[in-house]
Structure formats: structure tokens, C-alpha cells
């Protein structure tokens, strides 16, 4: 059942969004074909919702998440945060409010501590106090990653540890919403469970909104997700 006009109270919303990947210039013929990803798509997510987004590979699930943090721009329609078009918000501030976690966890050069404190080195965080080592360790502990020393080089971590580090780093920016792009696709079961538990806690304990893209079957244990399926450029609400 597709949604229509978003209510002003929706936390995250799409209104009549059309998106096609730009036609490549000078690329191969295959790349040159513009592909319609979202076709008059509507979505309404209330604050505190845990949204599960599924759909076939290439349907545009990642694109949909990336629209909310302006890593993609729609050709038509509006992307809204608390009723405000995201295009009217300062981009750095928007991306700290709506935190997007990349599918492949990316760490920067340096230690685990330097990675966790990275968001505090930017101008957008000029007035925010840096968390202490104890706070960082406690946060890692809550993600079942308390055994990772803060001095360890981040590049030496396993994929599962990196994903938990990236999630911890995203949580440190105190976002209102987490956009998780297949966060467990490359993880071992323990790491996957830690990441999903943290996402559920973010929703239940902090009142945050979660948009989780997954093409595997995933059943949250503590929250009742709102399930949408993206196919053919449109979103369909799936009954529980």
C-alpha cells in the first residue's frame, strides 16, 4: 500500500520523489543508459520508527537512504526531515542529524581512538565536548567491542570490528536517525547480532529513527519494524 502525501509530523519523508542515475558522459554504452531508480516514490517515517527496507538487488534501496543525507539529489520531489526539505538545511549539520552508515565500513588512517574522535575534528562540531577514553570504551563495550584497545590501528581490525567501530563513531555524533545500509552483509554472526542490537537500542532507548536496508531475512527481537519493499521505483508497505 503506497503512502501518499507525507504528514508534516513525519520525521523522515519522501514526497513524489523521482531519481535516475545521471547519464554518464564519455563512459561505456552500458553506463550511458540513464536508469530510473525511484519513480514518484512516497514514504513517511515517524520519529522512533524502526523501518526495514527490502527489495531486489539494484532496486535503489541504498539510493533511498543516501537521499536523506544528500549524498544523492532527486530530480523531482522533496526529501524532508521534520517537514523541512533537506536541501534547505546546512549539509554538515544534516549529516550529523541523519547519520548514514556505509555498506562497507570505512576507517581512516590512525588508531581506534582517532577514528572515534574524527567527527569532533570538523568545524561542525567546534562547540561539542570530546568524549573521554572511558566514554569511548563504554560505547565500544555496548557494541560487544569492548575488547578492542583504543590505541590499536583501525586498519588492523576485522570487518566485523570495523563495522562496530563505524557504528560507534556514527552514534557519537548524536544523530536523530540512523541510516544503515546492509550493515551486517559481510559480518560474522556475533558482529551482526551486536550491530542489530545496537540499532534496536538506538530506537528503543534513545527514541531514534532507524532505516535499515537489508536483502536478507531479518527479524528484530525487541522492536516491531515497519516493513517497506522497494520495487519498480515505488515503495510498498508490507503487512507484518
Cα–Cα distance, 220 to 234 (Å, whole number): 24
Binding of residue 122 to another protein (CB under 8 A)? yes
**Among 11, 61, 162, 169, which residue interacts with another protein (rule: CB under 8 A)?**
169
* Closest to another protein by CB, 70 or 234: 70
Cβ nearer to another protein, comparing 22 with 240: 22
125 near another protein, judged by CB under 8 A: yes
- Give the one residue of 59, 81, 101, 211 binding another protein; rule: CB under 8 A: 101
Beta-sheet pairing, 234-238 with 84-85: unpaired
Q: By three-state DSSP, how is residue 82 classified?
A: coil
Task: Name which of 185, 135, 139, 136 is nearest 163 in CA terms.
Answer: 185
Which one of 108, 155, 156, 158 is in contact with another protein (CB under 8 A)? 108
Q: Is 6 in the site for another protein (CB under 8 A)?
A: no
Q: Is 60 left (phi over 0), alpha (psi -120 to 50) or beta?
A: left
Q: Does 9 bind another protein (CB under 8 A)?
A: no
Among 53, 59, 170, 230, binds another protein (CB under 8 A): 170
For residue 71, state whether it binds another protein (rule: CB under 8 A).
yes
Q: Which residues pair with 231 in a beta bridge?
A: 234
Q: How far apart are CA 42 and CA 235, in angstroms?
A: 7
Record the cell numbers describing residue 69, joined without a space: 543525507
Residue closer to another protein (CB basis): 102 or 209: 102
Contacts 24+ apart (CB under 8 A), 91-95: 92/122, 92/123, 92/124, 93/124, 94/69, 94/70, 95/69, 95/70
Which span (2-10, 88-96, 142-150, 198-206) binds another protein, by CB under 8 A? 88-96
Site string for another protein, 30-49 (x = CB under 8 A): --------------------
What distance in Å separates the CA atoms of residue 165 and residue 148, rounded to the nearest whole number? 9
- 213: Cβ contacts below 8 Å, ≥ 6 apart: 53, 54, 61, 62, 64, 65, 180, 181, 182
Phi, psi of 191 (to 5 degrees): -65, -45
Q: What are phi and psi of 135, to 5 degrees?
A: -65, -40
User: Which cell goes with 99?
Assistant: 547519520
**What is the closest distance, in whole angstroms, from the C-beta atom of residue 224 to another protein in the complex?**
28
Using rule CB under 8 A, residue 100 touches another protein: yes
Nearer to another protein, 110 or 146 (CB): 110
Is the Cβ of residue 121 or residue 156 nearer to another protein in the bound state? 121
Query: Minimum distance between the CB of residue 119 and another protein, rounded to whole angstroms?
Result: 4
Query: CB-wise, 105 or 160, nearer to another protein?
Result: 105
Which residues here bind another protein, judged by CB under 8 A?
Answer: 25-26, 69-73, 86-87, 91-96, 99-102, 104, 106, 108, 118-119, 121-125, 166, 169-170, 173
Amino acid at each position: 500500500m503506497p503512502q501518499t502525501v507525507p504528514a508534516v509530523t513525519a520525521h523522515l519523508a519522501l514526497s513524489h520523489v523521482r531519481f535516475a542515475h545521471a547519464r554518464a558522459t564519455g563512459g561505456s554504452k552500458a553506463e550511458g543508459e540513464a536508469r530510473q531508480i525511484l519513480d514518484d516514490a512516497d514514504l513517511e517515517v515517524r520519529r522512533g520508527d524502526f523501518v526495514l527496507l527490502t527489495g531486489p538487488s539494484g532496486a535503489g534501496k541504498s539510493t533511498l537512504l543516501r537521499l536523506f543525507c544528500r549524498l544523492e539529489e532527486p530530480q523531482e520531489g522533496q526529501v524532508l526531515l521534520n517537514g523541512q526539505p533537506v536541501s534547505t538545511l546546512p549539509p554538515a549539520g544534516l549529516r550529523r542529524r541523519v547519520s548514514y552508515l556505509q555498506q562497507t565500513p570505512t576507517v581512516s588512517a590512525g588508531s581506534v581512538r582517532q577514528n572515534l574522535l574524527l567527527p569532533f575534528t570538523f568545524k561542525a562540531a567546534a562547540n561539542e565536548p570530546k568524549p573521554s577514553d572511558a566514554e569511548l570504551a563504554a560505547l565500544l563495550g555496548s557494541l560487544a567491542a569492548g575488547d578492542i584497545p583504543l590505541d590499536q590501528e583501525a586498519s588492523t581490525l576485522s570487518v566485523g570490528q570495523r563495522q562496530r567501530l563505524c557504528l560507534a563513531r556514527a552514534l557519537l555524533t548524536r544523530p536523530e536517525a540512523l541510516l544503515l545500509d546492509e550493515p551486517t552483509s559481510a559480518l560474522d554472526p556475533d558482529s551482526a547480532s551486536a550491530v542489530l542490537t545496537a540499532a534496536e537500542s538506538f530506537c528503543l532507548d534513545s527514541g531514534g529513527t532507524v532505516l535499515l536496508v537489508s536483502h536478507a531475512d531479518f527479524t528484530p527481537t525487541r522492536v516491531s519494524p515497519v516493513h517497506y519493499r522497494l520495487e519498480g521505483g515505488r515503495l510498498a508497505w508490507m503487512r507484518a
